[in-house]
């Protein structure tokens, strides 16, 4: 795997799963007016060896701080598509210099579908560069 950032080939991951926040995303007026719960999963790809060797939080991603930022994004400016929301969340993750790549899944379990269903999920993968 080539590394656009020039870092080592090590690619570990940190996963934050099931983060819940209320947002007003969607194309329908009712979705904007009432809002609904969104569930976010992110997988950050980075080299965790420096953090592990030093036991130093500054050498990895503070997932608590990241979770707060992701919730602010979900609760923030509404968009029509969860694809757009996923892209914004990926940008939040890539704002951390240590993150080389990210996979983001946005779940919309209360999507306005007039049939029984379990979930709607959009998953994207973005890399630095």
Active site residues: 108
Buried b / exposed e across 15-38, counting CB within 10 Å, b at 16+? ebeebebebbbbeeeebeeebbeb
What's the CA gap between 80 and 65, in Å, rounded? 26
What's the CA gap between 71 and 128, in Å, rounded? 22
For Cα atoms 20, 52, 102, give the angle at the middle one, nearest 5 degrees. 40
How far, CA to CA in Å, does 77 sit from each of 88, 114, 115?
A: 11, 26, 28
């Amino acid at each position: 795997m080539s590394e656009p950032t020039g870092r080592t080939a090590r690619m570990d991951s940190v996963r934050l799963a099931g983060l819940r926040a209320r947002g007003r995303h969607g194309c329908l007026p009712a979705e904007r007016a009432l809002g609904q719960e969104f569930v976010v999963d992110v997988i950050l790809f980075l080299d965790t060896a420096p953090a592990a060797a030093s036991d130093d939080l500054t050498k990895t991603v503070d997932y608590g701080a990241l979770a707060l930022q992701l919730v602010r994004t979900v609760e923030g400016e509404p968009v029509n598509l969860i694809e757009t929301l996923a892209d914004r969340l990926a940008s939040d993750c890539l704002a951390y210099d240590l993150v080389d790549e990210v996979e983001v899944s946005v779940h919309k379990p209360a999507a306005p579908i007039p049939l029984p269903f379990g979930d709607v999920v959009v998953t994207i993968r973005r890399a630095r560069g």
